A = this chain, B = another copy of it.
Amino acid sequence: MLTYSFENIGSDTLYEHLYKSLKQDINDGVLSPDQKLPSKRSFAKNLSISTITVENAYAQLIAEGYIYSIPKKGYYVSRISNMINAPNHKYRFDRCEEYNYADKNDVASDIINLASNHISADSFPFSIWSKLIRDVISNEKDSLMKPLPSAGSFELRNAIAKHLWDYRGLDVSPEQIIIGAGTEYLYSIIIQLIGRNFIYGVENPGYSKIPKIYNSNSISCEYIPLTSCGIDTDVLNKSNADIIHISPSHHFPTGIVTSVGTRHEILSWANNSDSRYIIEDDYDSEFRLVGKPIPALLSIDNNEKVIYMNSFSKSLSSTIRISYMVLPKHLMEKYNEMLSFYACTVSSFEQSTLAKFISQGYFEKHINRMRNYYRKLRDLLLEAIKKSDLSSRCTILEENSGLHFLLRISTDKSDVKLKEDAMKNGLHISCLSDYYMNPKHSEEHTIIVNYSSICAENIDLIISKLHEAVD
Contacts and interface: CB of A to CB of B under 8 A. Distances in A.
Interface of A: 16, 19, 56, 59-60, 63-66, 78-87, 89-91, 93, 95-96, 99, 101, 104-106, 116, 118-121, 123-124, 126, 129-130, 133-134, 137-138, 141-142, 144-149, 154-155, 158-159, 161-162, 165, 169-171, 173-174, 181-182, 184-185, 188, 192, 196, 209, 212-213, 216-218, 229, 257-265, 267-268, 271, 290-292, 294-295, 299-303, 317-322, 338-339, 341-350, 400
Given A64-B295, A299-B89, A345-B182, A154 B105 contact: yes
Contact of A346 (B56, B181, B265, B290): B181
Nearest to A266: B82
Of the listed residues A83, A85, A258, A322, the one surrounded by the most CB atoms of chain B closer than 10 A to its CB is A83
B118 A259 contact: no
B257 A319 contact: no
7 contacts: A59-B290, A65-B263, A84-B268, A90-B171, A104-B154, A130-B134, A192-B217
Contacts of A80: 260-261, 264
For the complex of A and B, list the 8 residue pairs with the smallest distance between their C-beta atoms, beginning with the closest: A65-B259, A101-B154, A82-B268, A181-B345, A319-B348, A121-B141, A89-B171, A181-B181
Contact of A350 (B19, B99, B118, B350): B350
Given A105-B146, A144-B124, A78 B217 contact: no
B341 A212 contact: yes
A455 to B, nearest CB: 12
A165 B95 CA distance: 12
Given A181-B181, A321-B343, A341-B209, A130 B124 contact: no
Contacts of A185: 181, 185, 345
A83 B154 contact: no
Contact of A258 (B65, B84, B134, B317): B65
A104 B400 CA distance: 44
A317 to B, nearest CB: 6
A101 B123 CA distance: 34
A85 B217 CA distance: 36
Given A130-B137, A158-B96, A300-B84, A59 B319 contact: no
Given A101-B154, A185-B345, A346-B181, A120 B145 contact: yes
B91 A171 contact: yes
Contacts of A146: 105-106, 118, 319
A461 B259 CA distance: 66
A468 to B, nearest CB: 27
Nearest to A78: B261
A29 B183 CA distance: 38
Contacts of A346: 181, 321, 347
Contacts of A271: 84
Of the listed residues A158, A229, A259, A300, the one surrounded by the most CB atoms of chain B closer than 10 A to its CB is A259
Contacts of A317: 144-145
Given A134-B134, A216-B338, A321-B346, A64 B173 contact: no
A341 B63 CA distance: 42
Nearest to A345: B181
Contacts of A142: 121
A322 to B, nearest CB: 8
Contacts of A116: 147
Given A91-B171, A147-B318, 11 more contacts: A59-B291, A63-B257, A63-B294, A78-B261, A91-B165, A106-B147, A118-B145, A121-B144, A213-B341, A320-B349, A322-B347
Contacts of A148: 105, 319
B292 A318 contact: no
Contacts of A106: 146-147
Contacts of A268: 81-82, 84
Contacts of A120: 145
Contacts of A154: 99, 101, 104-105
